[in-house]
Amino acid sequence: MSANESPSGKHPTATSEAVRDSAFLKACRREPVPHTPVWFMRQAGRSLPEYRKVREGIPMLESCMRPELVTEITLQPVRRHNVDAAIFFSDIVVPLKAIGIDLDIKPGVGPVVENPVRTRADLARLRDLTPEDVSYVTEAIGLLTRELGATPLIGFAGAPFTLASYLVEGGPSRTYENAKAIMYGDPGLWADLLDRLADITAAFLKVQIEAGACAVQLFDSWAGALSPADYRHSVMPASAKVFQAVAGYGVPRIHFGVGTGELLGLMGEAGADVVGVDWRVPLDEAARRVGPGKALQGNLDPTVLFSTREAVETKTREVLDAAAGLEGHVFNLGHGVMPATDPDALTRLVDHVHTLTAR
Ligand code: 1CP
């Protein structure tokens, strides 16, 4: 199989030579780079006035299903900030909506599930995802890769644990008490739930890669709520299944969570090529925890952008200094861009990292 061919053999993946030679993909592959590549989680979104304008009156989930709108929103931060990668505009709950789960994304709240999934009978509602269920994703990525030229497109999905947290709790949670009640009290049901979600997530990532995404990020945003032993036993097998399912495409696989300092080694072991790090662990220490053979992504505290230009520059230099000995480094924030962030601070940050790291 050539690097340009999908494992299914049906669709050649759309990655062009210019994209393959991009600083972002080089850093993911731990090759020498012309400068440290930069992108931001949640770079498309409420921090941008042009985003708020095109989203006006259109509910979040509906915007994810309109290919022209998805294309425009995904391109907005690329045009404005000169970032080294685009991330597909969607949400982690889109594949669940696509298989008929009754959920909505409520403004100011996040994903809310009408009838939470808590029993074995509920599992039957989690059917397989087919490419036809998300044809708007294939269409949007087709439009996008034509517009993006040499800029790589990152596809993404929610990891089984983080998806399960919304499905079981019925919405955002700080404690995950209902999810953990199943994890500890009915491990068989828990394992089957996460395994179902792994299949759905893998199918969703495959759609994005076959349509032209040249890297994927698995967001296990809330895995930091787990001890290493619980993560290894009750969550890692499902996340590993997702990574294994897309291994054959040869696209870099990024694995990210918040508050996952104690889990960094395991999150790499699950099958990631790049491990995302929040701001709580310096990158040199993160590299020791992850071990050799993987690139790291991160990890400026997103709240630093609310401070003075001097403070942003100092904290940025600290991140770059800690990253100096890494095998590969993709600069990012330690979590998503906060909605009240000044977009000009993000543009300056990209320029600053490019200037400081130009080789
Ligand atoms: O109307 C709006 O603008 C709603 C806000 C919003 C946006 C812009 C939501 C609701 N989702 C999104 C888009 C989104 N979601 C992206 C866009 C691509 C980009 O990064 O530019 C991405 C990557 C996501 C992924 C996502 N959704 C995650 C993982 C990333 C993370 O921040 O940890 C999670 C946990 C979600 C759930 C979700 N969707 C929306 C919100 C507000 C939340 C979080 C709710 C909570 O606190 O539990």
174 annotated as a binding-site residue: no
Q: How many CB atoms lie within 10 A of CB 266?
A: 23
The amino acid present at 180, given as its one-letter code, is K
Nearest alpha-carbon partner for 219 in 308, 116, 94, 132: 94
pTM of the model: 0.95
- Residue 262: per-residue pLDDT: 98
CA 344 to chain CA centroid, nearest Å? 23
Active site residue 342: no
Report the C-alpha gap between 178 and 124 in whole angstroms: 19
Active site residue 166: yes
Q: Domain spans of the chain?
A: 17-357
Report residue 155: phi and psi, to 5°: -90, 165
Using the mean position of ligand 1's atoms as its centre, give its distance from the Cα of residue 333 in Å: 15
For ligand 1, whether the C-beta of 87 sits within 6 Å is yes
CA 89 to chain CA centroid, nearest Å? 11
- Residue 13: per-residue pLDDT: 53
Active site residue 46: yes
- Residue 2: per-residue pLDDT: 41
With a CB cutoff of 8 Å and minimum separation 6, the contacts of 28 are: 215, 252, 254, 273, 274, 295, 328, 330
- Residue 3: per-residue pLDDT: 42
- Nearest atom, ligand 1, residue 46 CA: 3
Q: Is 38 helix (H, G, I), strand (E, B) or coil?
A: strand
Using the mean position of ligand 1's atoms as its centre, give its distance from the Cα of residue 91 in Å: 6
Q: Which CATH class is domain 17-357?
A: alpha beta
| Substitution site in 48, 92, 205 for ligand 1 pocket (most atoms within 8 Å of beta carbon) | 92
The amino acid present at 331, given as its one-letter code, is F
- Residue 15: per-residue pLDDT: 77
- Nearest atom, ligand 1, residue 172 CA: 48
198 annotated as a binding-site residue: no
DSSP alpha helix (H) spans, the chain: 17-20, 23-28, 49-55, 60-64, 67-81, 94-98, 120-123, 135-148, 160-169, 177-185, 187-211, 228-234, 236-246, 264-269, 283-290, 309-322, 343-357
pLDDT values of the chain reduced to their tens digit, one per residue, 359 residues: 344 444 544 444 557 899 999 999 999 999 999 999 999 999 999 999 999 999 999 999 999 999 999 999 999 999 999 999 999 999 999 999 999 999 999 999 999 999 999 999 999 999 999 999 999 999 999 999 999 999 999 999 999 999 999 999 999 999 999 999 999 999 999 999 999 999 999 999 999 999 999 999 999 999 999 999 999 999 999 999 999 999 999 999 999 999 999 999 999 999 999 999 999 999 999 999 999 999 999 999 999 999 999 999 999 999 999 999 999 999 999 999 999 999 999 999 999 999 999 99
